[in-house]
Amino acid sequence: MTDQLRQAEERDHLRIVAAIESWWTDSRAPAAARELSLLVPRLFLQHFSGTSFVAEQDGRMVGFLVGFLSFDHPAEAYIHFVGVDPALRGRGLARQLYTAFFDVASRAGRSRVHCITSPANTGSIGFHRRMGFQLVPGDAEIDGVPVHQNYDGRGHDRVCFVREIPPVSGS
C-alpha cells in the first residue's frame, strides 16, 4: 500500500496539521477541522516521535499515527490520533499504522493499547472492533455502544477501547 512507513519526526508536524485540516472536512466544517488539529500539538512529535508514524506514497504523506507509551502505567500504550487520506481509506493503511505501533509497544514490554473515539464516529468504532479492540464499559449507552459521558469535558462523550497485545521484552 505505502511506499514508506517510517517513524514520525518533529518536521512532520505542519504536514500532519494540514492533513487534519484537509482530510476531516469530509465530516465537518473547515473551522471544526482546524479546531481538531489542535489535538496534535508539536510536543507530541518532539517527545513521542519514536512511537508515532508517517506513511508516504510517492513522497506525499497519506497517513499518520501519533501514539505513546504510558509513563504512569508501564503495561500500557495509547494511540492518540490517526489519520488516513480519505481517497485511500479502506485499503489497509490504518491497519499498517496500528500494526507498527503494536510492534513498538510490544517490544517495549507493553501488553495493552488504549484509544478513544467520538460516539458519532461509527466508522472508527467499527474499525477498532475489527482490529480486535474491546469496548470499555461506560456510564451510558448509545445505539448499543458503551459511552463515557463528559470524558473530555462537559458534552464531550467518548467511546473507550482497549486491546491486549503480547509483550516482547528486550529489544
- Rounded CA separation 9/12 (Å): 5
How do residues 99-145 score in pLDDT, each as one tens digit?
Answer: 999 999 999 999 999 999 999 999 999 999 999 999 999 999 999 99
- Contact call for residues 96 and 89 (beta carbons, < 8 A): no
Measured in Å, how far apart are the chain's first and last C-alpha atoms? 27
Strand pairing class (53-57; 4-7): antiparallel
- Give the per-residue pLDDT at 171: 47
Q: From the centroid of its chain, how far is CA 54?
A: 12
How do residues 60-112 score in pLDDT, each as one tens digit?
Answer: 999 999 999 999 999 999 999 999 999 999 999 999 999 999 999 999 999 99
Q: Which residues is 69 bridged to in the sheet?
A: 77
Residue 32: its H or E element: helix 30-37
C-alpha cell at 25: 472536512
